[in-house]
Amino acid sequence: DVKVTQSSRYLVKRTGEKVFLECVQDMDHENMFWYRQDPGLGLRLIYFSYDVKMKEKGDIPEGYSVSREKKERFSLILESASTNQTSMYLCASSSRQTNQPQHFGDGTRLSIL
């Protein structure tokens, strides 16, 4: 089975802090994604990556950056956390084969105080 592991289920940080969210997948997937999910707004794509050291902006990249130094790991960075970044963050991965599904981690519920 595909396993996508996010480093924390719950995280509390303070405004202005630099925050790192880590995601690791064990299926040798080329594609990795970071979404946030908020009530009434559904899933919104922040960044994605099709390969090591590659990154593409999604719909809401402002205030975030990403790092993909190894194929299995995709990190999301909040450069200077703000209260409007309080959210559920979801990592997903998928194979490069076009019809293969995305598989998600359990999510990190991040609160910025």
10 Å CB burial of residue 90 (0-12, 13-18, 19+) is: buried
The interface region with another protein, picked from 13-21, 38-46, 64-72, 76-84 by CB under 8 A, is: 38-46
State which of positions 53-82 bind another protein (CB under 8 A).
Answer: 58-59
When computed from its CA atoms, the radius of gyration of the chain, rounded to whole angstroms, is 13
Residues in the chain: 113
Dist CA 8 CA 63 (whole Å): 20
Tell which one of 50, 57, 80, 113 touches another protein (CB under 8 A).
Answer: 50
For residue 38, state whether it binds another protein (rule: CB under 8 A).
no
For residue 107, state whether it binds another protein (rule: CB under 8 A).
yes
For residue 109, state whether it binds another protein (rule: CB under 8 A).
yes
Contact 91, 27 (CB under 8 A): no
Structure tokens at 32: 């990795």
Smallest gap from residue 80 Cβ to another protein (A): 25
Which H or E run includes 57?
strand 56-57
Q: Which positions touch another protein (CB under 8 A)?
A: 4, 31, 33, 35, 42-43, 45, 48, 50, 58-59, 90, 92, 94, 96, 98-107, 109
